[in-house]
Structure 1
């Protein structure tokens, strides 16, 4: 019995070491390679749905101080930097609040961006929009927050079909993706011309009437222009998706979204 009690502290220390090593490996993996991200809101519908779970590719654009948790990486500018491309779906650190956002990259440094009557203009040229079948979802509480979607087909009761107008937008450079519209004149369907400064980027959500993005100034709670250093990585693929309030509610899993490519 005496021998057993003498070995007990050693066993505890081994357990502590194992936990410390595991946390260290996880921190390195998260900082250098992939960061997990849950979709909490509907600002990127229908590309991304509330409850989608994905890994952010942190190698895509290189590394900045924000690549580490709490912005602790000792990197003054950007290491192994690679320029993002127009149309990328990007996770970035909000310049003021410090929260992580996910939006689509619309404007590159030097671009002029404007929205007129819901149509996106880049450098004075309208970006092509082709109407397609509406996006339809069930009107119900979504995700852990329990918010309800906005609908273009008026008041919809619980369990009803909530519709949004949908179009395929093709950006300068050839990237095509779906965008949603709830009603004309909502959100920022008409904006001034935004000049994207060097070293910054302009982002918008695909759910255009339900997205706080670069169309709104940081001083007013929006995103504004986002510095290159704040880009955390590119979202390439949905790994898992749950339509319910908890991941463990297996009956709410969306089987068609497992490993779905993000366009």
Structure 2
């Protein structure tokens, strides 16, 4: 009969094996299928709010170096881990995004993860005129969508304050932004927000190169995106290989600084489709 010591040793070994297998399966799941993503900023309001949690569909566009995990803060760099796939702007099992998709991608310079909406496809000419998006010389359709309101208070783990069209607004006051419904060529409609007249409301014409995409945030006056070139601290054109995946649905949402603060959960956003 086996001793108690050997039985305990075998039990510990089995536990370790189980944990290792679970981590491997979780890593495979994250690398190949879905990647979790928390919304850290207000650049995609009101489509996405600070504290929304979603899974990014990685196989929507196939796989590239950007499909590998990347956590710059701790030195994990997708380009180093999957360098063999980097440099040719191609993807394995690749398919192209459609205009209007909400996409998570790697910033072409910093490697940080961004989430924005695709508005410009390869070969398109994109321009902003008086805050109105023009694609290939034609203004997109805009309709009034009412007013978006939120409380003037720190938001999310970073504790940032929202910008308001009716500002300045004191703590606890109602922060307002004009909401418009924008319809892109192809028929995708979504809401956008306006705060004020900013330098990105009027731009030159951007000619999107082949193999690249043009992204903007739905919160138009509070988004760092393709309207600003990389040399000026923006995003610029995003290569095809930098796409991580498509955001399809909000799984969970919390308005507080921690997901464990259950009294701040937004149950009306659980499993909400992203439009």
TM-score of the superposition, structure 1-length normalised?
Answer: 0.96
Q: Tell me the residue number matched to 2:166.
A: 153
2:234 corresponds, among 197, 219, 222, to 222
Is 1:121 the counterpart of 2:137? The answer is: no
Q: Tell me the SS of whatever aligns to 2:26.
A: helix
Q: For 1:187 and 1:4, locate their aligned partners in 2 and report how far apart those are by CA, in whole Å.
A: 73
- The aligned runs of 1:63-78 (5 Å cut-off) are 63-70=63-70, 71=78, 72-73=81-82, 74-75=84-85, 77-78=90-91
For residue 221 of structure 1, report the CA deviation from its aligned partner: 1.8
Q: Which residue of 2 aligns with 1:56?
A: 56
Q: Is residue 208 of structure 1 aligned with residue 255 of structure 2? A: no
Aligned to 1:32: 32
Corresponding residue number in structure 1 for 2:243: 231
SS of residue paired to 2:236: coil
Structure 1 counterpart SS, 2:66: helix
SS for the counterpart of 1:115 is: strand
Which one of the candidate residues 174, 186, 198 is aligned to 2:187?
174
More displaced 10-residue stretch of structure 1: 129-138 or 245-254: 129-138
Measured after TM superposition, the shift of residue 179 of structure 1 is: 0.6
Q: What secondary structure sits across from 2:85 in the alignment?
A: coil
CA deviations over 1:91-119 (Å, ceiling 9, x no partner): 00111111110000010000000001101
- Alignment correspondent of 2:157: 144
What's the CA shift for 1:187?
4.3
Matching residue within 245, 254, 263 for 2:266: 254
Give the Cα separation in 1 of the matches to 2:145 and 2:10: 66
Is 1:163 matched up with 2:176?
yes
Q: Which residue of 2 aligns with 1:83?
A: 96
Runs of 4+ in 1 over 4 A off after TM superposition: none
Q: RMSD of the TM alignment (CA)?
A: 1.2
In 2, Cα distance between the equivalents of 1:198 and 1:262?
27
In the alignment, structure 1 residue 96 sits paired with structure 2 residue 109: yes
Q: Give structure 2 stretches of 5+ with no counterpart.
A: 71-77
Distance 2:245 2:137 in 1: 29
The answer to whether the aligner puts 1:133 opposite 2:146 as a matched pair is yes
The DSSP-based 3-state class of the residue aligned with 1:31 is helix
Cα distance in 1, alignment partners of residues 192 and 57 from structure 2: 23
For residue 8 of structure 1, report the CA deviation from its aligned partner: 3.3
Gaps of 5+ in 1: none
